[in-house]
Structure 1
C-alpha cells in the first residue's frame, strides 16, 4: 500500500501540467476549422493554459481567456459556438476569414461579449434576433457578408451598444424604426444593402450620442428629415448614392459637431441652405451630382474647410470673394456646374490649396495668381470655362504641380518659361486657347511629362530638341499651331511615344532617321505641313501603327512597299508629289481617297492618274466612250437578269434572302462570297450565341463571321433573345471606332438568319491563350501590353463615347488578340448605353456576365454602371498575373479575387505570380497585381475610373514608384482618384 501512495505522489506534479478546460474547448474549435495557413499550430495540447497561444489573450489576474482575435487567418468552417463556453470572453474577432453557413441563434450564450467582429466572411441567412440578448455588447460588426432578410426589430433593445456596422450585405427589408431606441449608439453604418426603397426613419434623430451615420447606397427616397438636426454630436453624415429628393434642410446647419457632410449622387434640388457658417467644425462638404440651383452662399466660404466638393450640380451664380477667408482649404472641386463670374483674386493666398478642379462651368476673367502661393498645388484643372488673360508668371514656381488642364478657355499671351519645365508635371494640357510664343527649351526639366497637349493655339517657332529628352512622353499633340522648322532628330529617342500629332503647322524638312525606335507609336499625323523627301520605309516596321496621315505635304518618290506590313485604320497620303505604282495591298477602290492629288501616282485604280492629250484624241475618246456606254447598258441589263436568277437560285439552295445588308466600312466582298464559305470545315469556335467561321476571301483577306443561333440560350449572357443580342452588337460596334475595339465590317439580317462579319483575330481570345496550354506564348511584356490595350478600349467606352457604354461581359474570352499580340475588346451583345445623368447605374431585368467576373453588387442589385466593368477587368488582370482561371477547384469556395488576396496575406506574392513568368519582371508584375486588386475591390465606390486605370497601368509599366501601402506585412492597396474623373471617388 505504501509503495502505491508513493507512486501517486510521483504522478501528481505531472498531472498538474494537463491542459485546462478552456484550452480543451479551444482545441475543439481548432478541429472544427480548416487552417490552411497553420496559424493555429501553436495551439498545443501539451501546454497548461492557452494564454500564450496565437490570437488568445487572458486576464492577468484570473488567467481566464477574455479575448480571441483570429483576424486575417483564412480560417474556413462554421461559426465556432464552443467559443461561447469561455465564460470570461469579452472580445471575439473573426474578421477577414471564410466563416460560412448561418450565424447560430445560440451565439447569445456569449453573455460577456463586449465586441463581436465577424466582418469579411461568407455568413448567410438572417441575422439572429437573439444578438440583442447580449447584455454587455458594445460593438457589433457583421459587414461584408451575405446576410439577408431584415435587421431584427429586437435590435432596438440593445442597452449598451455603441457601434453597429452592417455594411455591404444582402439585407432587403426596410430599415427598422426601432434602431432609434438605442440611446447609447455612436456609430450606425448600414450602407450598400438592397433595402426596400423607403425614407430615412425620422426616429434616428433620437440617437443623441450618434457620431457617425453612414447610409450610402440604401435605396433611400424622399427628403432628409429635419429630425437629424437633433444629432448634435454627429461628426460624419454620409447619405450618398441614394434617391433623396427635396432641398437640403436648413436644419442641417444645427449639427454643431459635424466634420463631414457627403450627400452626392442624389436628386436633391433647391438652393444651399442658409446658416452653413454655423458649422464651425466642417472639413468636408460634398453635395455633388444632385440638382441644386441658385448661388453659393457667401457664408459657406467663411468656413475653414478641409475639402469643398460641389461638382456635378446645377448651380448658377458666382463664387464669392469671401471664399478666400478659408485658411484650411486643401481641395476646391466645383466641376460640372453652371457657375459663372470670376474667381476671387486672392483665392489660395491664405490656404494651402492642393487640388482645384472647377472645370465644365462658365467662369470668366483672369486666373488668380495666388492659387499656388503656398507651394502645395498638385492639380490645376480649369478646363472648359471662359478664362482669359495670361497664365500667371508665378505658376512657374509651382514645383509640386503634377496635372495641369487648362484646355478650352480664352487664355492668351505666352506661357511662362519656367512653367514649361515643372519637374513633377505628368499631364500638361493647354489645348483650345489663344496662347502664343515659343515652346521653351526649359521643357527638358519636365522629366515626368507623359502627355503634352498644346494643339489649337498660336504657338510658333521651332520645336525644341529638348523634347527628345522626355523619356516618359507618351503623347505629343501640337496640331493647329504655327510651329516651324524641322521635326527634331531627338524625337527618335522617345521610345514610349504612342501619338505624335503635328498636323496643320508650318514644319519643313524630312522625317528624321531612326523612327523604327517608335515601337509603341499608334498614331502619326504630320498632315498639312511643308515636309519633303521620300517617305521612310522604316514606317512599315512600326508594329502597332494604325493611323498614318502624311497628306498635304511635299513628299516625293515611291510609296514604300513596306507600308503593306501595317494594319492601318486610317491611311492618307493624298496631295503630295508621290509617283510610281501603288503597293498591291492598297491598289483597290477602298484606298482611292488615300492617294488623290499625287500627279505622278499610278496604279490599277482608274482615273487616279490625270489624262493627257487633246484634239483628235479627245474626239476618238468620245466615240470610244459612247461605245462603252452602250455596251455598259447592255451589260447592266444582262447582269441584272443574271443577278435575279442567281438570287433565286441562292434562295432555293440556302433558304435565305439577304434582305438587310449593312456595312460600316468600305468592303471588297459580297454577301454571297461570305455565304459560300459558311461550311463546318471553317468553324473556329462555338458559343452560347452562335458559331464563328473563318472566311478567306478572294482578295486574300480573312474575316471572322458569327452566325447566330435560331435563339440564343438564356444564361449565356442572359439576354432575352437573339434579336436583343444582335441589335446590341450592331448598335454598339457599328458606331464606335477605336484601335482596341474589334471592328465590325458589316452585318446581315433576314429575320431567319443573322450574320456578323468582324476583322479576323489570328491568335484567338486571351482566355484561349492563357488557359489552353498556350500560355507560354505570353511573356510578361506581352501580357502587360494586352492589359493596357484592353484598358484603353474600355476607357474609350466609358469616357469617350456619348452616351457612355457599359460592356457588362468583360472577360478574357471577350478580349481578342491579333497577329501582333495586341488586344481588342469584343462581344457587345449584352452591352448597355448608360446616360451620363444616370444615378448609380441602370437596373437590369437579368444578370449579364460570366461566372467569376460578375461584380458582387451587380449580382444582387441588378444595377449596371462602369464600376461593374472595372471589377471584371480587375479579374482579367489577375488572370494575366496568375495564369489561373477566375474559378478553379483549387480555390474551393473562393473565387480568383479572394484566393489572390488570401494567398498574398498568408504566403506572399510569390505564391500567386504565374511561375512561367521571368523573375526579373517581379517588381512591375506586383504593381499590376495591385491595380488588379484595386479594380476588383469589394465596394464599387473604391474602384478607380477606367481612365485612371489606364494611367495607373502606364505608370506601372514606365517604372514609376509603386503606390502600394503595406501594413504589418499585409497587402493594402491605396490610390488617389483623379479629381476630374467625373463621379469617381476613393
Structure 2
C-alpha cells in the first residue's frame, strides 16, 4: 500500500502528460498538413515533448511552447491549444491559417506570446484578446484582419509588443492605445485607415522603443508630444500625408537611432536642435517640401545614412559634417544646396556613398573623401565643382562609380583614376579636363562605361584600352581634341555596344578586324580627319543600327555590303566618296545621308555634279524625257481608274500616318506597319489588345502592340482613370535610353487605332520560355545573365532617371529576351513617376501589379514606392532558381515565396532548385536564391535598393563593382 501511495504522483503525472499529447493530436487533426511536417506527432508516445515544435518544462514536463511556424499548415486556428494549462507561447507564423480568430482565444489564460503573422486570417480582431492578463507579445501582422481596432485593446495589462501591420484595418489610428503604458513596440503600418491624425496622447507611451506608422493615411502635423518618448529607437512615419514642419521637440528623443519621415508633405526647415540626437544613425526625410539648410549639428552625429534628396533645401553643406565618425551614406541630390564641401569630409568616417547631384555646389573636391578607403560611389553630376580631381581619388581602390558630368572641372585627370580596378562607370563628360588618357587604363578590369565627351582631352587614344575586351561596353569620347589613329587594339573590345569618337582630329582609317564587334549598336566617327575606304566589314556587324561617318575624308565607293545592315540612321555626307549608290540606298529617304560627296552619283536631283556634260549626256537626257512623257500618258489614265478603288484606303492611311510619332530615326515606312497587321502575324493577345510580329521591307522585324479602342488597362492593373496605358507607356519610353529597357521605335494614335512599335525580341518573354517545355534551354549562366540584365534595367529606372520611375508590374512575362537571351524590361502601361517636389503623394485608385508578384504591403497601401518593384523582382529571381511560376497548384494556398522559405528550411536547397539546372553551379544558385529572399522580405524597410541588388548579383559570381 505504501508503495502504491509513493508511485501515485508519478502515475498521475504520466496520465497528465498523455492528456496533453491527446490535445495536441486533436490540434494535428484540425489542420491540413500537406508536407507531413507533423509526422513525429505519434500517439504511441507517452509524452509529446519530443514532437516537432513542442517544448516542455525541464522539470515538470508540461508543454510550455508550441512553435509550428513555416510548416505550410492550413485550416482554422486550433483552439485545442488553449487546453494546455501551462502553455505560454504559440507561434503559427508564416502558414495558411485561415477563417477568423475565435473569441475563445481568451481561454489561453497563461499565454505570454501569440504570433500568427503571415497567414490568411480574416474578420475582426477579437476584443477578448485583451482578457489574457499575461499576454506580452501579440503579433498578427500580414493577415487579412479588417474592421476597427477593438476599444478593449486599451485594457491590456502586460502588453509590450503590438504588431498589427499589413492588414485591412480601417477606422482611424486609435487614441486609446495610449493607455497601454507597458508598450515597447507599436506597429500599425500599412493598413488602410481613414485619414486621421497621429494621436498626441502617444507621447504618454514612455516605454515605447519602436513606433511604426508607415502607410497609415496619416494627415496633419507630427505632434510635439512624441518628444517625450525618450526610449524610442525607431520612428517610422513614412508614406503618409503629414504636413507642417518637423517639431523641434523631436530633438528630445535621446535614444533614437532611426528616423524615417520620407514620402510626406512636410515643409519648413529642419530643426536646428536635431544635432542633439547623439544616438541617431539613420535620418531619411527625402521627398518632402523642406526648405532651408542642413543644421550643422546634424552632421556631427553617429550617422550611417543621411538622405534628404527631393526637397527644397538651400544654403551650404555645414563643415560639422566632417566630425561624424559613423557617416557612411550621404545623399542630398535634387536640392538647391550651394557653397563648397567641407575640406575634411570623409576624414573621420568610413564614407561609402556620396550623391550630391543636381545642386549648386562649387569649389574643389576634398582630398579626404576616401581617407578610410571605403568610398564606393561618388556622384556629383550637374553642379559647379571646379579645379582638379585630387590625387587621393585616383588611389581610392574601393570606387565603383565616378560620375562628374556637367561641372567645371579642369586640369589633368590623375593617372591612377583611369586604372581603378573596381570602377565600372567613369563619367567625366561636359567639363574642361585636359591631358591624355593614361595607359594605366589597362588595369581598369571592371570598366563598363567610359564617358568623357565634351572636354579638352588630347593626344592619341592608348592601345592599352584594348585590354578591356571582357568588360567595356560603351565609349563616349566625342567633342575633344584626340589625334593620331584609332588604335588597332580597339577591335579586341568584343562587348562593345557604343563607340562615339565624333568631333575630334583622329586620322587614318578604320582598323582592320572590326568583324569582332558583334554587339556594336552605334558607331559614330563623324567630324574627324579619317580617310581611306569604308571597310566592307562594317556590313557584317549584325546589330549595328546607327552609323555616322560624316565630315571626314573617306574616299572610294560605298560598299554594297552596307545594304546588309538594318540601320535606323546612316550618315556618310561630306566625304570624298564616289561612284554609284548601292541600289538599296537609292531612295529619297536616304538623300541627306550622301550629300557633300562631289563624285557620288544617284537618282536624286542635285546629288551628282552637273559639270562637263557631254553631247551624249544631252541625248540621253532627251531620250529619257521622251520615255518619261510617254509613260506619263499611260500612267495618268490608269491612275484615274485606280484612284477610286484606292481612295478610301489611302485617305485612311494618310490620317493614320499623320498621327505617327518617331522617337528614333527609323529605316522603315509607317505604311509598312499599317499594311502588315495580319491575324496570322499575331504573337500575343490580352485584354487591352494584340501584339503582332511584322517583318518589314528592309528585312528588319518589329513588334507592334495594337491597343483596343477606348480600352484602358485591365481593372486589376489600372491606376489612372484619365490617362490610359498608351499615354503612360509613350511618356515613359520616349525618354528612356538603356540597353536593358525595351526600345520604343514609334507610335500612332489616331483615335481609332493606337499602335506601339517596339524592337522585336525573338526569344519572347522570360515567363513563356521558363515555364514551357523549352525551359531546359535556360541553363544557369543564362538565367543569371537574365537576372542581372533585368536588375540593371530596374536600377536605371529607380536611380538614374530624374525623377525616378516605378514600374509597378515587374514579372517574368514583362522581361523580354533578345536573340542572345539578353533581357530587357518591358510593358510600362502602369508605370509611375515618383512624386516630384511639391506634389502630394496621391495614392493609386486600385492595386497595380500581377497576382503572385504584388508586395504584401501594397495590398494595404496604394502609394507608389520602389520597394514594391524590388519585391516583384525578388519573385522573378525565385522563378529563375526554382523554375516554378509564382502560383502553382503544388503550393496549395501559398505562393512561391512562402513555398521556397518552407521547403528550403525543411528539406534544403536541393528540393528548391530547378532539377533542370546543373548543380555544379549550386553555390552560385544559392547565393542568388538568398538575394531573391532578401528582396521578398515581408517588411519593405529590409529590402535592398535595386542598385544594391545589382551589386549583390555581381558579387554572387565573384564579380565586384
Normalised TM-score (structure 1)? 0.85
Residue matched to 1:893: 893
CA distance 1:320–1:110, shift in 2 (3 Å):
same
Distance 1:479 1:444 in 2: 21
Residue 57 of structure 1 is matched in structure 2 by 55
Structure 2: distance between partners of 1:838 and 1:929:
39
Partners of 2:903 and 2:518 in 1: how far apart? 36
Q: Distance in 2 between matches of 1:581 and 1:468?
A: 36
> 2:834 touches 2:865 (CA, 8 Å); kept in 1?
yes
> Do the aligned residues in 2 keep the contact of 1:717 with 1:848 (CA within 8 Å)?
yes
**Deviation of the 1:780 alpha carbon:** 4.6
**Partner secondary structure for residue 335 of structure 1:** coil
Report if aligned partners of 1:660, 1:748 keep a CA contact under 8 Å in 2. Answer: no
2:228 paired residue number: 230
Matches of 1:486 and 1:553, distance apart in 2: 13
Q: Deviations over 1:240-269 (max 9, x none)?
A: 222111111112222222232222222111
Distance 1:565 1:708 in 2: 33
Mapping of residues 181-260 of structure 1, within 5 Å: 181-260=179-258
- 1:385 matches 2:386: no
Match of 1:114 among 112, 115, 125: 112
Partner of 2:269: 271
8 Å CA contact 1:18–1:46 kept in 2: the answer is no
* Structure 1 position 747 matched with structure 2 position 745: no
Asked if 1:155 corresponds to 2:153, the answer is yes
**Cα contact 2:140–2:164 (8 A) shared by 1:** yes
1:24 to 17, 22, 25: 22
Note if 1:845 corresponds to 2:812.
no
Query: Any idea what the Cα deviations from partners look like across 1:532-581, whole Å, max 9, x if unmatched?
Result: 44444444554544444333334445555555554444443443444555
Q: Matches of 1:940 and 1:609 in 2, distance apart?
A: 66
* Distance in 2 (alpha carbons) for counterparts of 1:280 and 1:59: 43
When residues 820 and 898 of structure 1 are mapped into structure 2, their CA distance, relative to the original with a 3 A threshold, is same
- Write out per-residue CA displacement over residues 840-860 of structure 1, whole angstroms, 9 at most, x where no aligned residue: 965333444443344444444
The answer to whether the 8 A contact 1:17-1:47 is kept is no
The 1-side partners of 2:581 and 2:59 are apart by 94
Structure 1 pair 318–167 and aligned structure 2 pair: CA distance change class (3 A): same
Deviation track 1:905-942 (CA, whole Å, cap 9, x = no partner) reads 33333334433344455555545545544554444455
Pair 1:540–1:786, CA change in 2 (3 A): farther
Indicate yes or no: 2:527 matched with 1:528.
Answer: yes
Of 17-26 and 94-103, the range deviating more from structure 2: 17-26
Question: Separation in 2 of the partners of 1:180 and 1:268?
Answer: 25
What is aligned with 2:884? 884
Instruction: Call closer, same or farther: CA 1:451–1:630 in 2, change over 3 Å.
Output: same
Q: How does 1:596-611 map to 2 (within 5 A)?
A: 596-602=595-601, 607-611=606-610
Query: Over residues 568-622 of structure 1, what are the superposed CA-to-partner deviations in whole Å (9 max), with x where a residue is unaligned?
Result: 4444344344455555555544444444444454556665444443597998899
Offset at 1:207?
A: 0.6
Secondary structure of 2:369's match? Answer: coil
Distance 1:589 1:717, change over 3 A: farther
- Give the CA deviation at 1:458: 1.7
Whole-angstrom CA distance in 2 between matches of 1:692 and 1:234 = 55
* Residue of structure 1 in register with 2:416 after alignment: 418
User: How far apart are the structure 2 equivalents of 1:876 and 1:635?
Assistant: 63
Give yes or no for the alignment of 1:909 onto 2:932: no
The CA distance in 2 between the partners of 1:124 and 1:628, in whole Å, is 85
CA deviation string 1:379-405 (max 9, x = no partner): 333332211111122333333333322
Give the match's secondary structure for 1:861.
coil
Structure 1 residue 808, shift from structure 2 partner: 4.5
Distance in 2, Cα, partners of 1:617 & 1:279: 94
**8 A Cα contact 2:364 2:388, kept in partner:** yes
- CA shift for structure 1 position 165: 1.7
- Residue of structure 1 equivalent to 2:485: 486
CA distance in 1, matches of 2:536, 2:911: 46
1:913 and 1:724 map into 2 onto residues whose CA distance is 40
Greater RCO structure (CA 8 Å; 6+ sep): 2
Indicate how the Cα distance of structure 1 residues 283 and 792 shifts in structure 2: closer, same or farther if over 3 A, else same: closer
Aligned residue runs from structure 1 range 686-725, under 5 A: 686-693=685-692, 708-709=707-708, 712=711, 715=715, 717-718=717-718, 724-725=724-725
**1:711–1:722 Cα contact (<8 Å) kept:** no
Shift of the 54–587 alpha-carbon distance from structure 1 to 2, 3 Å rule, reads farther
Alpha-carbon RMSD: 4.1
- The one-character-per-residue Cα deviations of 1:28-61 (angstroms, maximum 9, x if unpaired) are 3233334445443333333332223332222222
The aligned residue for residue 442 of structure 2 is 444
**CA pair 649-707 structure 1, distance change in 2 beyond 3 A:** same
Deviations 1:795-833 (A, max 9, x none): 566566666655544444445555555555555555555
C-alpha distance in structure 2 between counterparts of 1:575 and 1:797, whole Å: 39
Residues 491, 70 of structure 1: alpha-carbon distance in 2 compared, 3 angstrom cutoff: farther
Residue 223 (structure 1) shift: 0.7
User: CA shift at 1:280, angstroms?
Assistant: 2.8
**CA deviations over 1:160-186 (Å, ceiling 9, x no partner):** 111122222222221111110011111
| CA distance in 2: counterparts of 1:167 and 1:590, whole angstroms | 61
The answer for the alignment partner of 1:475 in structure 2 is 474
Aligned to 1:507: 506
Q: Which runs of 5+ in 2 are unaligned?
A: 1-6
1:338 corresponding residue in structure 2? 336
Contact 1:305–1:328 (CA<8 Å) still a contact in 2? yes
CA distance in 2, matches of 1:549, 1:656: 31
- 1:465 and 1:300 map into 2 onto residues whose CA distance is 49
Q: SS at the partner of 1:843?
A: coil
CA drift of 1:222 comes to 0.7
CA distance in 2, matches of 1:856, 1:486: 58
Which residue in the other structure is 1:976 paired with?
A: none
- The answer to whether the 8 A contact 1:381-1:403 is kept is yes
Q: Does the aligned pair in 1 maintain the 2:790–2:815 contact within 8 Å?
A: yes
Deviations, residues 665-686 of structure 1 (Å, cap 9, x unaligned):
6575565x76666655555544
Question: 2:114 aligns to what SS in structure 1?
Answer: strand
User: Residues 526 and 959 (structure 1 numbering): CA distance in 2 closer, same or farther, change over 3 Å?
Assistant: farther
Q: Describe the SS at the equivalent of 2:121.
A: strand
- Of the structure 1 ranges 833-842 and 65-74, higher mean CA displacement relative to structure 2 is found in 833-842
Runs of at least 5 residues in structure 1 that lack an aligned partner in the other structure: 1-8, 963-986
d(CA) in 2 for partners of 1:481 and 1:907? 60
Closer, same or farther in 2 for the Cα pair 1:543/1:368, shift >3 Å? same
| Residues 762/387 of structure 1: CA separation in 2 closer, same or farther (3 Å cut) | closer
Q: TM-score, normalised by structure 2?
A: 0.87
Q: Call closer, same or farther: CA 1:709–1:284 in 2, change over 3 Å.
A: closer
Change (3 A) 1:247 1:600: same
User: Is the CA contact 2:882–2:912 (under 8 Å) kept in the aligned structure 1?
Assistant: yes
Counterpart of 1:101 in 2: which secondary structure?
Answer: coil
- Residue 805 to residue 560, structure 1, CA distance change in 2 (3 Å): farther
**Conserved 8 A contact 1:248-1:268:** yes
CA apart distance, 1:363: 1.2
- SS for the counterpart of 2:910 is helix
What's 2:177 paired with?
A: 179
| SS at structure 1 position matched to 2:41 | coil
Q: Distance in 2 between matches of 1:612 and 1:104?
A: 100
- The whole-number CA distance in structure 2 between the counterparts of 1:701 and 1:660 is 23
Does residue 405 of structure 1 match 2:406? no
Closer, same or farther: CA 830–456 of 1 in aligned 2, 3 Å: same
Report SS of the residue matched to 1:275: helix
106-115 or 424-433: bigger deviation: 424-433
Q: Residue in 2 aligned with 1:4?
A: none
How far apart, in 1, do the equivalents of 2:654 and 2:390 lie?
69
